Amino acid sequence: MASPVEISFTATETAGLATREGRIAILIGESNRLPAGLPRATRDVALRALDSAGWKAVKAGGSLELAYPAGLQAEALQLISLPKKAGVAEARKAGAAIGAKLGKVETTVLADNHPQAAELALGLALRGYTFDVYKTAKSGDVSAETEGESARAHVTFMCADPEALARKAEAGAAVAEGVFFTRDLINEPANVLTTTDFADRLLAMRELGLEVEVLDEDELAKLGMRALLGVGLGSETPSKVVVMRWNGGGEEAPLALVGKGVVFDTGGISIKPAAGMEEMTMDMGGAGVVAGVMRTLALRRAKANVVGLVGLVENMPDGRAQRPGDIVKSMKGDTIEIVNTDAEGRLVLADVLWYAQKRFNPSAVIDLATLTGAVIVALGHDHAGLFSNDDPLVEALLSAAKAEGEGAWRMPLAPAYDKLIDTRLADMKNSGGRSAGSITAAQFLQRFIRKDQPWVHIDIAGVALPPGGTTLAPKGRQAGAS
Closest CA to 470 of 54, 109, 100, 55: 100
Are the beta carbons of 363 and 453 closer than 8 angstroms? Answer: no
Active site residue 40: no
427: number of Cβ within 10 Å = 17
Which of 152, 201, 245, 272 is the catalytic position?
272
Are the beta carbons of 376 and 362 closer than 8 angstroms? Answer: no
3-state SS assignment for residue 470: strand
Bridge pairing between strands 240-247 and 255-265: unpaired
Closest CA to 98 of 67, 140, 64: 64
Whole-angstrom distance, CA of residue 344 vs CA of residue 482: 7
The residues with which 409 forms a beta bridge, in sequence order, are 385
Which of 346, 429, 447, 477 is the catalytic position?
346
Active site residue 92: no
Residues whose CB falls within 8 Å of the CB of residue 326, separated by 6 or more in sequence, listed in order: 230, 337, 338
Nearest 5°: the CA angle 403, 404, 406 is 110
Are the beta carbons of 298 and 247 closer than 8 angstroms? Answer: no
CA distances from 361 to 215, 254, 304, 356, 449 (A): 19, 8, 15, 7, 11
Q: 3-state SS of 125-146?
A: HHHCCCCCCCCCCCCCCHHHHC
Q: Supply the residues annotated as catalytic.
A: 272, 346
